[in-house]
Amino acid sequence: MQLVLGVSAGLAAKEQNPAAEKQMILAIQQAYYLQAKNPSDEAVLIKCVEEVVINTDIFAEALNSATTKQQLLAELKFARSMRANSFPSPLMEEAGRCRPLAFDYNAPEVLLRQLT
């Protein structure tokens, strides 16, 4: 659920400023990985918004809006069409088709063999 809310937060930030989406995603990652904050907590997301310097009230309204939910569903549908069903999902595009790549966090050669 936290990934879905994080994507929604990125979309809600993007609604105010297209450049804010990447900034918001970075702020969420820093909150989660560096500060052990829960990104599925809307209060944490609101705190992240303060770092991105967009209007907090507009963001809070957009986070749960029908428009953001529709955009999220479209993004999920697109990801699934490429067979990206988890995060991370490394993919390779060949001849207009995407295929998932196997990977191992402890053995980079698993991924590298597929790229050569």
Task: Give residue for tokens 């907590």.
Answer: 41
Assess whether 20 and 70 both reside in one domain.
Answer: yes
The answer to whether the beta carbons of residues 39 and 45 sit under 8 Å apart is yes
Q: 69 and 52: one domain?
A: yes
Please tell me whether residues 58 and 100 are part of one structural domain.
no
- Beta bridge partners, 99, equal 92
> How many distinct structural domains can be found in the chain?
2
pLDDT averaged per 10 residues in sequence order, the chain, 116 residues: 73 90 92 92 90 89 91 89 81 87 91 89
Give dist(CA 59, CA 85) in Å, integer: 27
Together in a domain, 62 and 93: no
Same domain flag for 89 and 75:
no
Structural domain harbouring 37: 2-80
Q: Are residues 60 and 40 in the same domain?
A: yes
60 and 90 both lie in a single domain:
no
